[in-house]
Amino acid sequence: MKLDKITFNYLQSIKNKKIVLFGSGNIAEKTIRKCNDLKIDFIVDNSKNLQNSKFLNFDVLSPDTITDEHVVLICSTAISDISDQLNKIGLIPNKNYFISPILNDLLAIEELEKIKGTFYFTSGTVAKEEFGGGLYKVEINSEDYKLTKIYSGPCYGLILKGSNLYFIDTDKGILECNADDESVTFIKSTPGKSRAHGISFNESNNRFYLTCSYLDAVIEYDQYFNELRQFKLSNKIDFSGSPAHHCNDNFSTDNSLFVSMFSSTGNWKKDVFDGCIAEFNIETGERLEDITKNLYMPHNVKFYDGSIHVLDSLPGHLRTNNFSIIGTFPAFTRGLDYKNGLYFIGQSKNRNFSKVLGLSNNISIDCGIIIFNPTQKVSRFIPISMKIGEIHSIIAFQ
């Protein structure tokens, strides 16, 4: 069980308990000053040179003096080692011992350093046997991680439905990956010259939605992948014969379908990148007013914790909460998931860096996964081979 962050206000709920501080240094001093009404019995320290001395008029004793009657506040940066020590004497994290709120930032760093789990991502580059485009799995265990290629092909959209992954091979169509044995099954061909990209599933109506960049449209399928209709972004393709909007990803919920695209007006080929998230009324098929505009090559419109998210890809912004910027990253950001308070963000080799000149003072060409804590604003980077180069979608398991 991992330690939770606590606040100084929370400490008021345990102020009548017998409290022991573990560590007799600067962090203990700051904790005492912030919580001068706490009933501190004594302080313990692993340093034998400090034991049987005084620190701010409190006795400094050996950790052997701790009993299950005490509530321990860790006041040392050696959080992991002290936690192991307290576990061995039978204390329970978040019940018998906590960390001082002074250390919350350090706990966020340690959480990223020791993270364990699995995530999947797709890449749409030219498929090669070992690297290139495909569906990949990354298993991370603290500082170690393992990359496995599951499927080879130019792959884009990726979603989790039940225990299975559905993803897009833009040359072949829709495929399904069993998350247990990682077997891949072909499901449905997509229309020729459609450049299928993003996929979503609407729990309210049991329908899939497939964004097709070269059709300037989103195809609606029933749960068995029978095509029902298309949502057209505009009629520009009808008289020009060429797609105009560069739609890529979508998300659908209730009676709304949201679609990210490079140009709301359909002028990105004229270097007008008025990127947006368009909304459709699923019942009528009508395109409504865009819910946000002025994005630069947006991708991965998502819905987490009651809020729509989007990656403003070229400048590297993660936007949510009325599309405010909550994080900025140095490369082309594409691929997004959210689990247990952490964002998993794909970073692709930036092929358009000249367009960012003047917007960024550090343009990365690296490919990888950023794990981002939005509260403490700290992140960890998992590098992915340059031979893969691009990431399009991410699904995180923890």
Question: Tokens standing for 72?
Answer: 């321990």
- pLDDT confidence of residue 361: 64
Q: Which of 84, 112, 140 is the last residue of a domain?
A: 112
Among 15-19, 30-34, 174-178, top mean pLDDT goes to 174-178
Q: What is the number of other CB atoms lying within 10 angstroms of the CB of residue 395?
A: 23
Question: What would the pLDDT profile of 233-291 be if each residue is shown by its tens digit?
Answer: 999 999 888 999 999 999 999 999 999 999 999 999 898 999 999 999 999 999 999 99
- pLDDT confidence of residue 357: 52
CA distance 284 to 222: 17
What mean pLDDT do residues 392-396 have? 96
As beta bridge partners, residue 353 has none
The pTM of this model reads 0.83
Question: What would the pLDDT profile of 373-387 be if each residue is shown by its tens digit?
Answer: 998 899 999 999 989
Secondary structure of 338-373 in the HEC alphabet? EECCEEEEEEECCCCHHHHECCECCCCCCEEEEEEE
Question: What would the pLDDT profile of 175-214 be if each residue is shown by its tens digit?
Answer: 999 988 899 999 999 998 999 999 999 999 999 999 999 9
Question: What would the pLDDT profile of 318-358 be if each residue is shown by its tens digit?
Answer: 999 999 999 999 889 999 999 989 999 999 976 655 555 55
Are residues 178 and 92 part of one domain? no
- pLDDT confidence of residue 354: 54
Residue with tokens 């569906």: 135
Band of pLDDT at residue 109, cut at 50, 70 and 90: confident
For the domain that residue 192 is a member of, what is the CATH number?
2.120.10.30
Domain that holds residue 52: 8-112
Q: Which of 78, 112, 146 is the last residue of a domain?
A: 112
- pLDDT confidence of residue 191: 92
Are residues 82 and 206 part of one domain? no
If one counts the domains in the chain, the total is 2
- Residue 257, in any domain of the structure: yes
**Phi then psi for 269, rounded to 5 degrees?**
-70, -15
**pLDDT above 60: residue 219:** yes
Are residues 280 and 168 part of one domain? yes
Are residues 383 and 369 part of one domain? yes
- pLDDT confidence of residue 77: 87
- pLDDT confidence of residue 355: 57
3-state SS class at 289: coil
- % of the chain exceeding 90 in pLDDT: 73
Are residues 181 and 78 part of one domain? no
Question: What would the pLDDT profile of 120-175 be if each residue is shown by its tens digit?
Answer: 999 999 888 789 999 999 999 988 999 999 999 999 999 999 889 999 999 999 99
Are residues 354 and 317 part of one domain? yes
The vertex-344 CA angle with 340 and 350, nearest 5°, equals: 170
- Residue 98, in any domain of the structure: yes
Q: What is the number of other CB atoms lying within 10 angstroms of the CB of residue 192?
A: 6
- Residue 216, in any domain of the structure: yes
Band of pLDDT at residue 360, cut at 50, 70 and 90: low
Residue with tokens 């994290």: 93
Are residues 99 and 129 part of one domain? no
Band of pLDDT at residue 398, cut at 50, 70 and 90: low
Are residues 161 and 98 part of one domain? no
Q: Are 221 and 250 in contact (CB under 8 A)?
A: no
Query: Cα 102 vs. chain centroid, distance in angstroms?
Result: 26
Q: Which of 112, 144, 179 is the last residue of a domain?
A: 112
Give 174's contacts (C-beta < 8 A, 6+ positions apart).
Answer: 166, 167, 168, 187, 188, 190, 196, 199, 208, 210, 225
Supply the DSSP symbol for 46: S
Are residues 174 and 41 part of one domain? no
Are residues 86 and 123 part of one domain? no
Are residues 164 and 84 part of one domain? no
Are residues 260 and 275 part of one domain? yes
CA distance 234 to 178: 36
- Residue 2, in any domain of the structure: no
CA distance 87 to 312: 44
